[in-house]
Amino acid sequence: MKKAYLILKNGKIFEGISFGADNKAIGELVFTTSMVGYLETLTDPSYKGQIVIQTFPLIGNYGVIPEDFEGKPALSGYIVREYCENPSNFRSEYELQKFLKDNGIPAIYGIDTRELTRILREEGVTTAAIYHELPKDFSELENFTITNAVSAVSCDKPIKYAANGEKKFSVCLIDYGAKCNIIRSLTKRGCDVTVLPNSTSAEEILATKPDGIMLSNGPGNPEDNKYEIEQIKKLIGKIPVFGICLGHQLTALAMGGKTVKLKYGHRGANQPVKDLISGRTYITTQNHGYAVVSESISDKAVLSYVNANDGSCEGLLYPDKNCFTVQFHPEACAGPKDTDFLFDKFINMMGGQKNA
């Protein structure tokens, strides 16, 4: 049992036990409230540059199941209350500790995650570091910022995925840190999917003559992605567009809207979202630290979904642009009442465009 230390930017120190890689980590400290899905959290590219706290106390109990991975691990560190050393699940291939060590992710257990979460809820997201020996000074925490996050997690060349069964449409998925289930959600609906790097120009995208464009989730401050925003400006209105999470934020910025950093973000599989058109409330999966300012885009878009907890923007419709976007993750499998019907809406949009 080797000690490890979590140090917050304000100087507060938490002592725990190391069960991951031996290297240090510096990152933005955030929490996720999901009761299950720790593998999806650990492999979500949107956590680039962040140290993640699991508020659910027991982690590792069903081991590691590579089939459930959403991408390559991008988070900087991992914090849990209790680590299960002996998982029990017929799909498990190995223990969580091996996964963390193999991927160079330092992790700590034995920390009061409830206290940590209270600190973030009251004071907001902060910078933190994981060390295995206490440093002489904490100056490197003061200067940390997440930079070039999208470029770090995007693919470096186009990748093609064939439709399951008969091909109905071709879709370009712009990879800002795309989760694998977005691809699966499209291919099972008869779409050939071409995943393109974030550096792909609008002209190159349109030259492939896709039936629709998916703008994926991703990490970091949306306003940092100047190039990507400019490309969306050239795409929107020319072809059906569906944006998720960061794709939602970048589309709003491309249309002249604004984004704001939330105090501690929305991360978890239990975020309530109200559909303003039907009046129905959905329990959604989310992972974001920024939100679109609804009022900043009201002259060009229709607010379609809001967060039932804080009223923040969760979805926008662009009626005259053949485009809609959502802040939450419809590709996630949070339960039997999921919002994956939005992919069907995208399919219908492409079908209408094709038959026009």
Which residues are tagged catalytic?
Answer: 245, 329, 331
Closest to 267 measured CA to CA, from 41, 106, 36, 6: 41
- Cβ atoms of 251 and 243 closer than 8 Å: yes
Which of 130, 129, 149 lies closest to 48, judged by CA? 149
Label residue 138 left, alpha or beta by phi (over 0 means left) and psi (-120 to 50 means alpha): alpha
Give the integer Cα–Cα distance in Å for 226 and 42. 28
Q: What is the DSSP letter of 239?
A: B
CA 230, chain centre distance (Å)? 22
Pairing, β 50-54 against β 25-32: parallel
In whole angstroms, what is the distance from residue 218 CA to residue 216 CA? Answer: 7
**And the tokens for 1?**
């049992």
By CB neighbour count within 10 A (0-12 exposed, 13-18 middle, 19+ buried), where does 250 fall?
buried
Q: Are 210 and 239 in contact (CB under 8 A)?
A: yes
Distance separating alpha carbons of residues 180 and 187, to the nearest angstrom: 11
